[in-house]
Structure 1
Amino acid sequence: MAANNFTGQVAIVTGAGQGIGFEIAKQISLQGAAVLVNDVSPQLAANAAEAINRLGGNCIDLAGDAADIDFIQQMVDTAVQQFGKLTIAIANAGITLFGDFLNYPAQSLQSVMNLNLQGSFFLAQRTAQQIIKQKSGGSILFMSSVTGHQAHQDLAAYGMTKAGLEMLAKSLVVELSPYHITVNTVAPGATLTERTMEDASYHDTWSRITPMGRPGTVQDVANAVLFLVSPQATQITGQNIVVDGGWSAVSASPY
């Protein structure tokens, strides 16, 4: 992908204080986009924006709950006020709450659905409204997961939301293609992040059961995301890219 591929573009990336979201925000900013970095943690959001700007990016931070509809509108309005427009939204924020289906609490289900589904749905809606107003075209991307394709122990609720995001992307092809807005998803498998590396056995376990011999990196996932929201992918919409080193082809259990 050519450097400065995103010159003149303006993006919102949610859940971007660290991990996959941070890497996406960093890469897209260093390739020319102006970026609003969101995280529920004010410190993580501020640190992420500062780090990207130190590298030469153009980034602002806005901390808040990416499941909250009023805050979602605030993100859109802030991006437009600061950068003049909005052309890309990457709904990366999500929550994983493990739990046995037979005892899964209603509060946990509501939390997972609010952020993973409601937050993504309304970020797409409010972004699309802005892009249509601009008559500019643009791109929306949802962060799915291999658990939306393959059953995984104690992740029934989470997997359900991720499968739902992939269906949402397909549905929005009908709604948004007339406005030249693409909508796609990326489904990471096991990925080395600050959170997963807290498990000392994570790297070795997933290296053993992943056909490519290692878990993914945040760079692997970000590369797929940037392609789908880039000018090179304007004829790709309603699609999903799985980034899992082949794990979902064999589905070996980590247990």
Structure 2
Amino acid sequence: MKVYIVTGAGQGIGHQIALQLMAEGHLVVMNDIDSTLLSGPYTKAGDVSSYEFIQELVAYAQTLPGDLAGCVCNAGVTTFGSFWDYSPSSMKSLLDLNIQGTFFLIQEVARAIRIAGNPGSIVVTSSVTGHQAHPDLAAYGMTKAALNQLVQNLVIDLSPVQIRINAVSPGATMTERTEKDANYLQEWSRLTPLGKPADVQDISEAVCFFLSDKSKHITGQTLIVDGGWTSISPPPKA
């Protein structure tokens, strides 16, 4: 039995990924910084921008029956802000979680898989803003572009030990957060060539494909799931 860690799994895309993996017969350690959002047989609340917590999270996953087979680095923070006014404190929180937290989670999981001598697969949640410019998301988009490059670069280190790594870049997606915006569905249906934003299952299907043996010869790639938005990239009105 395979064991996967999914961060940011309390709601939205991460939650759907965890549910789909469990439905496919895998054990999933669901992580979120907010413990009240977590429900399931194996959960561990905590902040994955902390290296110490990352070590605890991976150690916990290794106590479960089965083999640690990978993780989904889905936890992240989105900060909107004008380039001219963006603050050092916002930048620090962004880099701590999106970059540092992702990097060291991959490192810790990959080390555990390598020691066990098993193959593995890791998926990073990126964003279309790492591929195309978007108003007020210069800092956030920068972190997502960095993750895309990290995924490509780690092919060098992870391939010799049979660990694959890929990224999925969602576009506009209907989640608990975006549903709070009364105009989100209408606006992104207008902007998306396929006529509507993604739902969380659209993203989880792509992630679970990368984790599965169906993609056993794919590594270092970033798959954009955005209904065609990056082909034309129209910005929203607000």
TM-score (normalised: structure 1): 0.92
Following superposition, the deviation at residue 84 of structure 1 comes to: 4.5
From 90, 115, 118, the counterpart of 1:133: 115
SS state of the match for residue 112, structure 2? helix
Partner residue in 2 for 1:17: 10
Partner residue in 1 for 2:203: 221
| Overall identity of the aligned pairs, in % | 49
SS state of the match for residue 252, structure 1? coil
From 36, 39, 44, the counterpart of 2:37: 44
**d(CA) in 1 for partners of 2:87, 2:148:** 25
1:210 matched to 2:192? The reply is yes
| Paired AA for residue 109 in structure 1 | M
Q: Calculate the aligned-residue CA RMSD, in Å.
A: 0.7
Q: Deviations over 1:25-68 (max 9, x none)?
A: 000011011000000001112x3x2xxxxxxxxx4010000111
Partner residue in 2 for 1:118: 100
**d(CA) in 1 for partners of 2:139, 2:224:** 20
1:31 matched to 2:13? The reply is no
Extract unaligned runs of 5+ from structure 1: 1-7, 50-58
**d(CA) in 2 for partners of 1:93, 1:206:** 23
**Where do residues 59-98 of structure 1 align in structure 2 (5 Å cutoff)?**
59-98=41-80
C-alpha contact 2:2 2:66 (8 A) present in aligned 1: no
Q: Deviations over 1:198-253 (max 9, x none)?
A: 10000000000100000000000000000011011111000010000000001011
**d(CA) in 2 for partners of 1:10, 1:205:** 39
**d(CA) in 1 for partners of 2:36, 2:211:** 27
**Where do residues 54-203 of structure 1 align in structure 2 (5 Å cutoff)?**
59-203=41-185
| Paired AA for residue 44 in structure 1 | L
| Paired AA for residue 248 in structure 1 | T
SS state of the match for residue 63, structure 2? helix
Partner residue in 2 for 1:250: 232
**d(CA) in 1 for partners of 2:119, 2:106:** 13
| Paired AA for residue 148 in structure 1 | G
| Paired AA for residue 11 in structure 1 | Y
| Paired AA for residue 196 in structure 2 | R
| Paired AA for residue 43 in structure 1 | T
Extract unaligned runs of 5+ from structure 2: none
Regions of 4+ moved over 6 Å: none
| Paired AA for residue 110 in structure 1 | K
**d(CA) in 2 for partners of 1:245, 1:19:** 18
Partner residue in 2 for 1:53: none
Q: How many residues align?
A: 237
Q: Deviations over 1:102-134 (max 9, x none)?
A: 110000011011111111100100000000001
